[in-house]
Structure 1
Amino acid sequence: MNDVIIIGGSFAGLAAALQLGRARRKVTVLDTGLPRNRFASHSHGLLGHDHKPPLDILAQARHQLARYPTVSLVSARADSVSGGLDDFTVLTDNGESLGARRVILSYGVADQMPDVPGFAESWGTSIVPCPYCDGFEVAGQHWGVLWTGPQSYQSAKLFQHWTDKLTVFADGHDIPSDIQADLANRSISVVAGRIVEIAHQKGHISTVNLESGRNIAVDVLFAQPRSKPSASLHESMGLATVDTPTGIVLKVDERRQTSVPGIYAAGDLATPFLPSVTQASSQGAMAGIFAQQSLLD
């Protein structure tokens, strides 16, 4: 019987495993090897690992976890979770049945790419979601902002801390006139019309092409496509969720526990705003600590 099974072995899951391993708890981490930021060449903002490839950081973390004999890293997908507090059962895709007293969900989310040629190919290279993750490297360049709703208005204002060359692409949305006026006062251009193509060279944008025939040159496009959880385990367990402008996330309390006692969640799967490697690592560590403390009861 494991003390904790962690489903998802990216930054949140491995951070949880580290805390539990140091507490000498028996832990199994199940991972499919498909972290959300695998498309990014570098990860930024993580203290001690700034500007390192994310896959290299994860590889180093797994190497460091090898010194903890109670932690097992398993390449497998969790197909189901059943049972309850102190007696959970996790079935894997290879037919193995694992028992645990607690479960931590950290299987993350998958970004849903719009059906626009060139978008998916540029994702993580010149189409990015977060200025805190990638803004410094492209500061002062011409940024595009893909409008998806009211949150895009706040983003456009925020982005002026990095650059004074901003173009908002309405992409078929009706942007309120007062917001358009304010953006104009801020010298932020608004371009109407739907995007039909992202012209690029090996993921590096050259132009954003519109159905009107206009082609607008930008250096980088900031976009927040909708995402969905990378697995459906939370649905079968009936876990409470929160709907956000970019997709659903799991609802957790101040101790990272979900609506089902004994099941915790961390990382992008349970982060409603501005997910990041730093935040995922912090949440994972706290989920591990709180799960460990709950075993004392």
Structure 2
Amino acid sequence: MNVNQPYDVIIVGGSNAGLSAAMLLGRSLRRVLVIDAGKPCNRQTLHSHGFLTRNAETPTQLLAVARKQVSYYPSIQFWSDTVVSATQTPNGFTVTTADGVVFSSRKLLLATGVADIMPNLPGFAECWGRSVLHCHYCHGYEVHSQPLGVLANGEMGYEMATLIQHWTNQLTLYTNGPSTLTDAQRQTLVQLQIPLIETPLKAIEHDAGQLTALLFTDQTRAYPIAIFSRVLFGHHTNIAAQLGCVLTETNFVQATEFGETNVPGLVAAGDITTPFRQVAVAVANGSKAAAWINRELLTEDLKRRVQVTGA
């Protein structure tokens, strides 16, 4: 089905970055369509921290308030579906959803977030975002001064351990196998009194996502109340690749401060562009991307009007 109603902007992704962009565009009197599948990557997280005026609310609460406020603007519409393909056209872009609906717009904003890839460790996925944590700024305060762990190895393990030690003096680095740290890194951990455990993990034991113990392959256990770790990620869709977006070495969409990509008219915002996975950052990214888009639309419209007047 082809919806013959071209929009100024289609936003793919209706979480924090996408809704922030939609609000600014709605306030700029732009006709906007937000297409969202309703599966934000932080949906398992119990509470979101660090977002001014909304600290400690759940991600669901944050999105509910945001969507209600964005819905105030009559030029913004929502569509519940997944975008499976996108094409650049002489007039902008067309996108096709999983249900076979086709929409068109002058500009396209990707705010699709990322898809975390869980390691094959029993209990890890169930605890992710609850007691297996990715960000010390988002969750460090809630577990500070208690027994904590870092589950990582090599440079990543060293970096995380030296960061997390600020929140507790009861920190252990678990490398889940032989350590790949350098001698200098090991010595720094010794000086910081951070034990290093290289025994492979068998499982993360938990109660409804709350870590109760780390079970090792030698049947011993450790009892941190939470651990910090990072996971690989992929993209929810391959739209960026379809349209020829350049990706960074770390698999993010390469974009300027205002979200501009190498594809004319295509802008990206939020977690798809940055490792700083915080609500405040996503909201700021979305707002800046929307301002950039509106500026481009104004410039194009002005040029068109001047040409018509000149003729």
Task: Compute the displacement of 1:293 (Å).
Answer: 0.6
Task: Compute the displacement of 1:281 (Å).
Answer: 0.7
Q: Which residue of 1 aligns with 2:203?
A: 197
- Verify the 8 A CA contact 2:109 2:268 in the aligned structure 1: yes
Question: Map of 1:114-153 to 2, 5 A cutoff?
Answer: 114-153=119-158
Instruction: With the length of structure 2 as denominator, give the TM-score of the two structures.
Output: 0.91
Q: Which residue of 1 aligns with 2:64?
A: 59
SS at match of 1:108: coil
Task: Compute the displacement of 1:85 (Å).
Answer: 6.2
Q: Which residue of 1 aligns with 2:181?
A: 175
Q: Which residue of 2 aligns with 1:292?
A: 294
Task: Compute the displacement of 1:49 (Å).
Answer: 0.6
CA distance in 1 between partners of 2:72 and 2:184 (Å): 58
Task: Compute the displacement of 1:149 (Å).
Answer: 3.6
2:267 corresponds to 1:264: yes
Q: 1:253 to 1:146 in 2, by over 3 A?
A: same
CA distance in 1 between partners of 2:291 and 2:285 (Å): 10
What whole-Å deviation, never above 9, does each CA across 1:80-119 have from its counterpart, x for those lacking one?
1102464211111222111101000011101111111111
2:217 corresponds to 1:215: no
SS at match of 1:3: strand
Decide which of 78, 95, 100 is 2:100's aligned counterpart.
95
Q: Which residue of 2 aligns with 1:274?
A: 276
Q: Which aligned segments of 4 or more residues in structure 1 are displaced greater than 6 angstroms?
A: none
Q: Give the alignment's Cα RMSD to 1 decimal.
A: 1.2
Decide which of 6, 21, 24 is 1:19's aligned counterpart.
24
SS at match of 1:296: helix
SS at match of 2:249: strand
Instruction: With the length of structure 1 as denominator, give the TM-score of the two structures.
Output: 0.96
- Verify the 8 A CA contact 2:258 2:285 in the aligned structure 1: no
Q: Which amino acid aligns with 1:31?
A: D
Q: Which residue of 2 aligns with 1:106?
A: 111
CA distance in 1 between partners of 2:22 and 2:43 (Å): 20
Q: Which residue of 2 aligns with 1:228?
A: 234
Q: Which amino acid aligns with 2:161?
A: A
CA distance in 1 between partners of 2:276 and 2:73 (Å): 32
- Verify the 8 A CA contact 1:145 1:223 in the aligned structure 2: yes
- Verify the 8 A CA contact 1:85 1:101 in the aligned structure 2: no
2:44 corresponds to 1:39: yes
SS at match of 1:42: coil
SS at match of 1:100: strand
Q: Which moved more, 1:90-99 or 1:259-268?
A: 90-99
What whole-Å deviation, never above 9, does each CA across 1:208-262 have from its counterpart, x for those lacking one?
1122322111110101011111111111112100122xxx110002321111010
- Verify the 8 A CA contact 1:6 1:103 in the aligned structure 2: yes
Q: Which moved more, 1:94-103 or 1:3-12?
A: 94-103
CA distance in 1 between partners of 2:91 and 2:146 (Å): 54
SS at match of 2:115: strand
Q: 1:274 to 1:149 in 2, by over 3 A?
A: farther
CA distance in 2 between partners of 1:25 and 1:86 (Å): 16
CA distance in 2 between partners of 1:156 and 1:182 (Å): 10
- Verify the 8 A CA contact 1:85 1:262 in the aligned structure 2: no
Task: Compute the displacement of 1:123 (Å).
Answer: 1.0
CA distance in 2 between partners of 1:86 and 1:171 (Å): 52
Structure 1 residue runs without a partner (length 5+): none
The alignment of Structure 1 onto Structure 2 pairs a total of residues equal to: 293
Sequence identity percentage: 35
Which is higher, the Rg of structure 1 or of structure 2?
A: 2
CA distance in 2 between partners of 1:148 and 1:251 (Å): 27
Q: Which amino acid aligns with 2:185?
A: I
Task: Compute the displacement of 1:159 (Å).
Answer: 1.2
- Verify the 8 A CA contact 2:11 2:22 in the aligned structure 1: yes
CA distance in 2 between partners of 1:115 and 1:68 (Å): 44
